[in-house]
Amino acid sequence: MKISEIEEEYTSGVYAKKPLEIVRGVGTKVWDSQGREYIDCTGGIGVASVGHSNGYVAQAITQQANRLLTCPDAHFYNDKRAKLLEKLSEISPGDLKRSFLCNSGTEAVEAAIKFARGHTGKPKIVAAMRGFHGRTLGALSATWKSTYREPFRPLVPGFKHLPYGELEELEREIKDGDTAAVLLEPIQGESGVHLPPPDYLKGARELCDRHEALLIMDEIQTGFGRTGRMFACEHWDIVPDILCVAKALGGGLPIGAAIMREEIKLNRGLHGSTFGGNPLAASAALATIEYVQKNDLPGKAEERGGYFLGRLKEFEPRDIVREARGLGLMLALQLKRKSGPYLNSLMEKGVLALPAGGTVIRFLPPLEITREEIDQAVEALDSVLS
Ligand code: PLP
């Protein structure tokens, strides 16, 4: 049986996959089981920011695998975890200092929701229409898309969704003082790469301060250099109370974190995770952050993303194209039709990209993608859009 046939036979069946068996990756490239090469503009849905099989990260993982794989955060201290916690505090904006370590994006959001409710003693969580925060029941309650939510009702009570970018409605909703937190993506990724209006995030920060609600920024997709800054909230000069991260943090290994201000606390025993903060994931994350810093990946994302966006803008005059947009290397080309068939044609031409919001082709490549590779991707796009 082929790899794809085995997966289809034995997997849960919740995913609709492309007919592509990926078996190897280096930097911006991946190879299929037939040895065919692809430029990976999916970056593993924004995970492979440091590139596939990054040598520096792989070495850290190998060394740690031979030293200590597991050490429960609940019971013991560990050298790699300590270093990672210190590092996260060092690179996080403003006074964000303490982290709860977990294993995925949705868990980082779950932790943020629990810390926000537990710390404030308030029930309400205000999220945004078009927002995506994960698939477990708490995070799903903050996620907007009805097809993801409806089959699983009743969801967690106390969640409200408001239009992204609307400050007046936000104030109306939170001024009763019942809101534990406002939960927002700095750029909405999954729903199509939507940037906020210029004053929105700053305004949301001020409203949260005025009405004593916490501001949670979901930087699970935007974090660690993707948008041209270490964290996207730096573009708007704001510091959230809780910052949710995952995806690129582990360089490919599963890890997430909710990073928060010192005074936000839960009593001991009120949250936890067996695998969270394990030494293997911690060493991968530490190496990933070091690599991002040493090689100025935010700067590269800004420079190469600017070039890539400029090339995508060249498609705007075409009838089929609505808009090219994005920040750094979080980019979208919105079409006037469903993007699925174009993604398949791109794949046939050796370029992998992602859907988002139905009509969008989304690009989240490794941050060291070269101009030549961007040109190759744009050339493939040119031929599939013609
Ligand atoms: N939040 C955002 C902004 C995301 O983009 C994602 C995943 O795409 C998540 C949360 C959920 O992360 P995970 O799939 O690791 O649970």
Residues with Cβ within 8 Å of residue 310, at least 6 apart in sequence: none
Closest among 311, 320, 310 to 342, alpha carbons compared: 320
Q: Within 10 A of 175 (CB to CB), how many other CB atoms are there?
A: 13
Name the catalytic one among 115, 132, 159, 224.
132
85 CA → ligand 1 middle, Å = 21
The tens-digit pLDDT sequence of the chain (386 residues) is 999 999 999 999 999 999 999 999 999 999 999 999 999 999 999 999 999 999 999 999 999 999 999 999 999 999 999 999 999 999 999 999 999 999 999 999 999 999 999 999 999 999 999 999 999 999 999 999 999 999 999 999 999 999 999 999 999 999 999 999 999 999 999 999 999 999 999 999 999 999 999 999 999 999 999 999 999 999 999 999 999 999 999 999 999 999 999 999 999 999 999 999 999 999 999 999 999 999 999 999 999 999 999 999 999 999 999 999 999 999 999 999 999 999 999 999 999 999 998 999 999 999 999 999 999 999 999 999 99
Burial class (CB in 10 A: 0-12, 13-18, 19+), 307: middle
> Is the pTM higher than 0.85?
yes
The minimum-distance atom of ligand 1 relative to the CA of 254 is: 15
143 CA → ligand 1 middle, Å = 10
3-state secondary structure of 270: coil
**Ligand 1 pocket, residue 138 CB under 6 Å:** no
**Ligand 1 pocket, residue 246 CB under 6 Å:** yes
**What pLDDT score was predicted for residue 311?**
98
318 CA → ligand 1 middle, Å = 32
**Ligand 1 pocket, residue 190 CB under 6 Å:** yes
Q: Which of the 8 DSSP states describes residue 186? A: S
Burial class (CB in 10 A: 0-12, 13-18, 19+), 28: buried
What is the rounded CA–CA span in Å between residue 386 and residue 381?
8
**Of 247, 249, 255, 362, best ligand 1 pocket probe by most atoms within 8 Å of the beta carbon:** 247
What is the rounded CA–CA span in Å between residue 153 and residue 114?
20
Bridge-based pairing of strands 37-40 and 29-32 is antiparallel
**What pLDDT score was predicted for residue 190?**
97
**What pLDDT score was predicted for residue 243?**
99
What is the rounded CA–CA span in Å between residue 382 and residue 349?
11
- ∠ at Cα 193 (189, 197), nearest 5°? 110
220 CA → ligand 1 middle, Å = 6
As a whole number of Å, the CA-based R_g of the chain is 20
**By alpha-carbon position, which residue is closest to atom 10 of ligand 1?**
133
46 CA → ligand 1 middle, Å = 10
**Ligand 1 pocket, residue 104 CB under 6 Å:** yes
Question: Chain centroid to CA 44: how far?
Answer: 11
**What pLDDT score was predicted for residue 340?**
96
Active site residue 218: yes
Name the catalytic one among 80, 124, 247, 300.
247
Active site residue 132: yes
**What pLDDT score was predicted for residue 125?**
98
Closest among 29, 11, 10, 31 to 20, alpha carbons compared: 31
Sheet of strand 37-40: strand arrangement: 22-26, 29-32, 37-40, 351-352
**Ligand 1 pocket, residue 201 CB under 6 Å:** no
**What pLDDT score was predicted for residue 211?**
98
**What pLDDT score was predicted for residue 240?**
99
**Of 113, 130, 132, 227, best ligand 1 pocket probe by most atoms within 8 Å of the beta carbon:** 132
Name the catalytic one among 40, 73, 218, 241.
218
**Ligand 1 pocket, residue 105 CB under 6 Å:** yes
- The answer to whether 119 touches 242, Cβ cutoff 8 Å, is no
What is the rounded CA–CA span in Å between residue 364 and residue 343?
14
195's tokens: 């940037």
Question: Chain centroid to CA 372: how far?
Answer: 26
219 CA → ligand 1 middle, Å = 9
**What pLDDT score was predicted for residue 220?**
98
**What pLDDT score was predicted for residue 256?**
99
